[in-house]
């Protein structure tokens, strides 16, 4: 997990505390929205991922998250709102997402990550 957080922080130009929060928010979102088998593979491949997802699973996205919720119950729009509410810019969100999915591909495999991206509408634009 520390390798992932260091890489995400470096790619997005953020500190490790914000990287930890962002990765936790994304992992919690993936658990909620993604295919269970492939999410299980990803979580197993990243020791500490479950604790991080659990810690950030209740995060709210402020006004942007509320707007996303009004526009269809959540999805990627609500995820973006949560990440912006945590203090990330749109460019940083893309950097965090891309690096996180790069590490996911290295650890859990291309098949698992491809299935996750394919199962969640709109996620492909961020990874």
Residue 71's pLDDT is what? 42
- The helix-helix angle for 16-33 and 49-56 (nearest 10°) equals 90
**pLDDT at position 58:** 57
Exposure letters 80-115 (e unless 16+ CB within 10 A, then b): bbbbbbbebeeebbbbbbebbbbbbbebbeeebbeb
- pLDDT of amino acid 64: 45
Quick one: CATH architecture of 2-126?
A: Orthogonal Bundle (1.10)
Predicted pLDDT of residue 94: 95
Angle subtended by helix axes 36-45 and 49-56, to nearest 10: 110
Return the domain boundaries, the chain: 2-126
pLDDT in tens, 56-100: 985 444 444 444 444 445 799 999 999 999 999 999 999 999 999
């Amino acid at each position: 997990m520390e390798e992932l957080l260091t890489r995400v922080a470096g790619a997005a130009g953020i500190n490790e505390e914000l990287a930890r929060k962002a990765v936790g928010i994304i992992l919690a979102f993936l658990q909620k929205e993604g295919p269970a088998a492939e999410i299980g593979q990803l979580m197993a491949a990243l020791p500490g991922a479950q604790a991080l997802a659990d810690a950030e699973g209740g995060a709210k996205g402020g006004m942007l998250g509320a707007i996303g919720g009004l526009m269809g119950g959540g999805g990627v729009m609500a995820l973006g709102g949560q990440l912006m509410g945590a203090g990330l810019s749109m460019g940083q969100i893309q950097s965090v997402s891309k690096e996180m999915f790069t590490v996911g591909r290295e650890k859990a495999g291309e098949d698992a990550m491809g299935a996750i991206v394919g199962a969640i509408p709109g996620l492909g634009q961020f990874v």
